[in-house]
Amino acid sequence: MQRQHKSLNYLTLLLFVVSGFFAQAQVSFEARVSKKKLGLNERLRVDFVMNENGDNFIPPSFDGFRVVGGPQQSISNTFINGKRSFSKTFTYFLNPKQQGTLTIAAAEVTIQGDVYKTEPISIAVSKAVDRPRGTNDVEYLVDENLHLVAEISNTKPYLNEGINVVYKLYFRSPIKVSDAREIESPKFVDFWTYDIKIPQLKIERGTYKGEPYSVVVWKKMVLYPQKTGKLALDPLTLNIMVDIPTNRRDFFGNTLYKQVNRTITAGRRNITTKALPTEGQPENFSGAVGTFDFDVLLNKDVLKASESFQLRVKIKGKGNLSLFELPEITAPNSLEVYEPEYKDNINVTLGGMQGVVENTYTIVPQYQGKFPIPEVSFSYFDPKAERYKTLSSQSQLVNVFEGPSTAPTSTSPAKLVNNVLEVPTDGSFKFIKLKTAFEPTFRATFYKSKPFYLLSLVPFLLLGVFLLVRRGQLSRAKDVEGLQQRKANQLARKFLSEAKKQTNNHSAFYEALERALHNYLKAKIKLETTDYSKAKILELLQEKAVVHSDAQAFVGLLENCDLARFTPATEGGTQDDYNKAVAVISRIDKSLRL
């Protein structure tokens, strides 16, 4: 019994030590400074911050500094995403007495019966600056404690290699951000862009230049550069309502804040896009950049003639899946191949586009036999390996039975045997006679005979046929305008097919509509990416003799796409803009055909 009692005592002591260790590990006490380099005539702010309420705070001696303000005590008790956050801060304002490297020694505080100390901090003091700013100055407080940053995953990508840009808003005590709105959005004219939606802005914990901050992820973008060389990223600009602490206190001793408006920008950033290497570039390379898998699949390889089968050219992986052409297939002439149906299932994250794209061909064999499907090759550039890679499918065989047979091509030469040309085939004929004995079909006099009268009527019959054909041609000519309009409508719907799928998704619809309008201009008037200004588009359309009202309507649709990013969805708005896009593309295409 005594031995068991001792074991229980040891176990209790061990649990107490471990629980005390974890409780102690949760407590933090640290010193923070407004800057680690300052001029002799500038002020320094020092905050001693603890995450649990402590007593018996002992500040350092501040050797080499003159205390010009403080201590000021503030307490913050907040809840962020359901988690409690407590902090108690003692603030001092210091003036350096001399140049050189000065040290702020450790401060002490007692928390839950234990003594905690801060780490010493070294401060580099230089000669006096021309325009010193005090630590209570509004501009100083905002500049030191509020930052909008554009974080770029790769500043030297290859052409068509995906990069991401994340805009983050950093802020810390003593200022507070009470409201923010976007007043200038970046334009990426030389990029294919995708805006990753952020359902709800959240305040999280983060670090900026090694210092702890509160951070809000404001915007996420995925970019694929479409030009080589130095490309500019326009800045994001926010209007922010900032709460600044004052020296006044309310009835309960809490610090009073005043609100000021500040405009803050992430600044213009540049990236340098590298051209894809020409050395070793395959002939069938169509612009794919990333890492991919490739396959060619048949849904069946045994069937009857006149039945159909499907062949899928499938590319799966991560890269610019929407920005390159899929390889085409070749098939024997005895197989009737229809235009492929394009499908995609692409998900865009900060890592870029990833998913599957495929072309599905419907093929109908005309004859029985065994028909080979030759191998298909797909080439892409791997930016991590910095080299081209080529993937090839295996050749496949389709067995067709129960249908008409076709004469296979013979490689053996024909032979002349007994004045007869013998062809070694299994086709519908085997012999061609070169010499024949002709006999007249009639022996009567041709003049005034039945053939004579029949042949005399032939010109009149031909004249009648000619008149009927001519009348049909004239009738069809009258409907040329309708034919052109039908072709123009088909072309418009082809470019707008992706937008039509997204009519119930306000944001995705306008992104797809804007890409469709730009792609139409690329296809029809060879518009370069650098010419995507609305004034340039209007000028080029008018040079192509497009009616001014149609050109204005086209530019108006592009403006609607821009405005749609900042306006709420309206019932029927996407369908109206889709119908307008079909109509204006049809009219412009008709003008370009004339």
CATH at residue 62: 2.60.40.740
Q: Which of 37, 245, 248 is nearest to 136 (CA)?
A: 245
Segment 241-296, tens digit of pLDDT: 888 887 777 777 777 878 888 888 888 888 999 999 999 999 999 999 999 999 99
Domain end call among 368, 383, 401: 401
Q: Which token pair is 259?
A: 């609100």
Q: Is the peptide bond before 60 cis (omega within 30 degrees of 0)?
A: no
The number of residues in the chain equals 594
Q: Is residue 269 part of a domain?
A: yes
In a domain, 414, yes or no: no
513 and 585 housed in the same domain: yes
Dist CA 236 CA 591 (whole Å) = 40
Residues 246 and 336 in one domain: no
Q: By three-state DSSP, how is residue 580 classified?
A: helix
What is the per-residue pLDDT across 319-351, written as a single tens digit (0 to 9) for each? 999 999 999 999 888 899 999 999 999 999 989
Distances (CA, A) of 486 to 198, 239, 480, 501: 42, 50, 10, 21
Q: Is residue 69 part of a domain?
A: yes
Q: What are phi and psi of 384, to 5 degrees?
A: -75, -45
250/149 same-domain check? yes
Residue listed under structure tokens 């997204």? 502
Looking at the fold, whether 184 and 241 belong to one and the same domain comes out as yes
- Within-domain flag for 34: yes
Task: Report yes or no on whether pTM surpasses 0.75.
Answer: no
pLDDT digits (tens, 9 = 90+) for 437-448: 656 555 556 666
What per-residue string of b and e applies to 33-63 under the rule 16 or more CB within 10 Å gives b?
Answer: bbeeebbbebbbbbbbbbebebeebebbebe
Print the domain residue range for 579: 481-593
Residues 190 and 106 in one domain: no
Q: Is the CB of residue 238 less than 8 Å from the CB of residue 190?
A: no
Residue 534 placed within a domain: yes
Judgement on whether residues 296 and 269 belong to the same structural domain of the protein:
no
Q: What is the DSSP-derived secondary structure letter of residue 51?
A: S
Contact 184, 235 (CB under 8 A): yes
What CATH code is carried by the domain that includes residue 567? 1.20.120
Report if residue 566 sits inside a domain. yes
Asked if 242 and 340 sit in the same domain, the reply is: no
Please indicate, yes or no, whether residues 247 and 202 belong to a single structural domain of this protein. Answer: yes
Q: What secondary structure does DSSP assign to 496-531, as a single string?
A: THHHHHTTT-HHHHHHHHHHHHHHHHHHHH---GGG
Are residues 237 and 171 both part of a single domain?
yes
Does residue 97 share a domain with residue 125?
Answer: yes
- Residues of the chain with pLDDT below 50 are 1-6, 8, 16-24, 407, 409-432
The CA distances from residue 242 to 24, 174, 257, in Å, are: 35, 10, 9
Residues 332, 360 share a domain:
yes
Domain end point (choices 104, 132, 160):
132
Same domain for 196 and 117: no
Domain contains 415:
no
Please tell me the total count of domains within the chain. Answer: 4
Whether 419 maps to a domain, the answer reads no
CA 61, 62, 68, 72 torsion-angle sign = negative
| Domain boundary residue, one of 107, 132, 157 | 132
At residue 585, the 3 state secondary structure works out as: helix
209: tokens are 């230049």
Buried b (16+ CB within 10 A) or exposed e, 247-268: eeeeeeeeeebeeeebebebee
What is the structure's pLDDT at 426? 45
* Angle, helices 573-593/506-525, rounded to nearest 10 degrees: 0
